[in-house]
Copies of this chain bind each other. A is one copy, B any other.
Amino acid sequence: MDDVGAKKRRPGGRSAQVRARVQAAVIELLADSRLEEVTIPRVAERAGVHQATLYRRWGNIAGLVDDIVAERVGELAPIPDTGTLRGDLELAAVRFAEVIAPLGGIMIRAAALATPDADSSVTFHTRATQLQAMLDRAAARGEKAPTLTELLEGITAPLYFHELFFGRPADAEHARTLVDRLLIYVEASR
């Protein structure tokens, strides 16, 4: 996997078009069906692509979802340095909320579909490393910073949880509320 998004041959070639239509179909189905109703034949039909193509290229639904998630998570990869911990956290939280929102809970479902083996999630590990770097920057500036665990549990977990249990994504305002909460705690506990 060198150039997942654009593909090797051509940006607008047939393969790329198939991929785009298939990804859209998966997201639509994931958004308004129960998980077990999201099948290769149904994705193929909605995308107007032959079943055999999907089986050959992605193998199964999990493969399809992995492909989509890897691409989306890649979009929020570089966490900008705003100069303050609060700025960094708010940006990261809001962007994360925005990315998972339109995916309508597929992030969490993707996690569910993936191999039980947690370490295999390269995507997650990469993300964690980036967040840790953000915290290190804050610490270097002398700010009181939470631990990575506190960050994941205080912000990421609630954002996931929101979608899963309330059936709707958290909005940007709520994301900022979570940051606020975390910082109040950090301030009080150090």
Contact = CB atoms under 8 A, between A and B. Distances in A.
Interface of A: 31-36, 60-62, 105, 108-109, 111-113, 115-119, 121, 124, 150, 152-154, 156-158, 160-167, 178, 181, 184-185, 187-189
How many of these chains are in the complex? 2
Contact of A35 (B112, B165, B167, B184): B112
Contact of A157 (B35, B111, B158, B188): B158
B164 A34 contact: no
Contacts of A153: 157-158, 161-162, 178
A34 B116 contact: yes
Given A36-B61, A150-B181, A116 B157 contact: no
Contact of A32 (B116, B150, B166): B116
Top 5 A-B pairs, shortest CB-CB distance: A112-B112, A118-B167, A188-B188, A157-B161, A153-B158
